[in-house]
Structure 1
Amino acid sequence: MLIAFMIFIFIIVIASFLYSFTFSKKSNVEKVNSNDHIEITFEYNEPRKTGKLLRDFPANYTIIDVETTGLKPREDKIIEIGAIKYRDNKEIDYFSTLVKVDYIPNFISSYTNITNKMVKNAPRVDEAIKQFYDFVGDDILVGYNVPFDIKFLYDALYEVSNGELLLNNDFIDVMYIAKRVLKDLENYKQVTVASYYNISIDNLHRAMGDCKLCSAIYECLQKDILEKWGAFNKFYKKYPKIKNKIENNKNE
């Protein structure tokens, strides 16, 4: 009887320890706001200090795209970075690099056509991300669902620079513009919007291919806005909350 009681007490103690350990680890990663939105923060308890979402169509900007091993910026890795720089709405330069990682899952290779062999001799992320950072400078960043790309790039840059370098460029999300201009699409995947505009799709799910596709969609959306509203500022007035829909979730 005594032995059974001691075993029971031992199990209770172990269970309590495991619960406390799990909770304490989790509390370093997640913070629950009053609106029940879970904000994922860095282990050093600092949210990303990214730039602002812009509602504008500037003449000078850089379109960006990354390919990754998965969807989680704090767990998965960048395997390719692409960027195209524009001045006066004309392409003047580009940046493209594969990124060496330890392993690319087979399903990612099937999706992107990027294999482990291809990245074997590529630069590591510390070299690649700093080259990207130097290339974009303080340009406005444009992309399709660009918060996804920015989260990966921000985290990688922060990590390799020990927090000394921040990707805090202002940005424009082409997907959110598409959702407000095009109302009757089945979905708003980049390929769906491209098909709507009869844009040829080449090298899909590669960083440079997706940058070029995003650029073509961005141009078509600008033309649509001018035709439907006559001026960009009328479009902005119709959708004044576009800004907050990104910023409220930028730290996920």
Structure 2
Amino acid sequence: MRPLIDNIVAVIKKRGGRMELEDFRRLIQKTRDSLFENVDTLMELVIASGLPIDIEGDEVILETCFRPWREETFCVVDIETNGSVPKRSQIIEIGALKWRNGEIVDRFESFAACSYLPYQISEITGINPEDLEGAPPLEKMLPRFKAFLGDSLFVAHNVSFDYNFISHSFERFGLGVLGNRRLCTIDLARRTIEAERYGLGHLNIALDINTLVHHRAYADAITATKVLEIGLKNVPDAIVTTEQLIDFTKMPVKRAKAILESEKLKTKN
């Protein structure tokens, strides 16, 4: 499913954010993993993955190509795990909050039951086996988080780790691949904030965020949200839509900073 979703996004973006429904069906037919997979079923799975697409009449629209990022719902996520490899480890805590137009509009925080918690993980996170007693098993907690996430923009500090770990966990428990569009606050910070280092702990101090707890999921999600908010204040005015914002965070750092400097000069003049 991952190659299919990535291909759908690439093709729709090349077409300006929209494509004919029949072309969309043919695209799925062409890139499906197996000849035995039903196209209509795959369409339903793609929509259920959190990819923000909408079908309007005979057109399929990637909503983030048209939605102003200032109106976007950013779901800032952080996880704690009992190891670094999804196939051999599991999530022990998810903390997330939804941020829109400068305000936190919703929050999610939960431990997950775990039978194996290495001492080193307890040392880093401060989470002890006793904290996980009575916590819901992952197969019950993850559907709640998936419903909370919806099709909002998935945001995290070093987003690949959290995104891929959660996506693997979703697939493991039959919830399908994670298809939400995503944004990394490290990438945003490197292009919009001057700092010696861009780790969350360093930015927490350097930017006077000063969240008291580190390496706990919800506290780190709060810190990442503050980094997001500070970074967004420096985004060029030419960046209007959510997809433009995502693309901006992926462009070469020198080019992004050159755009910012050019905008500053225009403002002065």
Q: TM-score of the superposition, structure 2-length normalised?
A: 0.62
Counterpart CA distance in 2 for 1:240 and 1:98 is 34
1:9: which partner in 2?
none
1:213: which partner in 2?
223
Unaligned runs of 5+ in 2: 1-32, 35-45, 53-63, 254-269
1:72: which partner in 2?
85
- 2:185 pairs with 1:174: yes
Q: Give 1:1-252 correspondences, 5 Å limit.
A: 57-59=69-71, 60-161=73-174, 164-185=175-196, 187-225=197-235, 229=236, 231-232=238-239, 242=250
Deviation at 1:243, TM superposition (A): 6.2
Deviation at 1:221, TM superposition (A): 1.1
Deviations 1:53-107 (A, max 9, x none): x898443221111101122122211000111123333112111100111111111
RMSD of aligned residue pairs (Cα, Å): 3.0
The verdict on how the C-alpha distance between 1:166 and 1:179 changes in structure 2, with shifts beyond 3 A counting, is same
Unaligned runs of 5+ in 1: 1-44, 246-252
Give 3-state SS (helix, strand or coil) of 1:72's partner.
Answer: coil
Counterpart CA distance in 2 for 1:241 and 1:103 is 37
1:178–1:188 Cα contact (<8 Å) kept: yes
Give 3-state SS (helix, strand or coil) of 1:63's partner.
Answer: strand
Deviation at 1:158, TM superposition (A): 0.7
1:249: which partner in 2?
none
* Aligned residue pairs, count: 189
Counterpart CA distance in 2 for 1:201 and 1:75 is 31
Larger CA Rg, structure 1 vs 2: 1
Percent of counterpart pairs with the same letter?
Answer: 24
Give 3-state SS (helix, strand or coil) of 1:224's partner.
Answer: coil
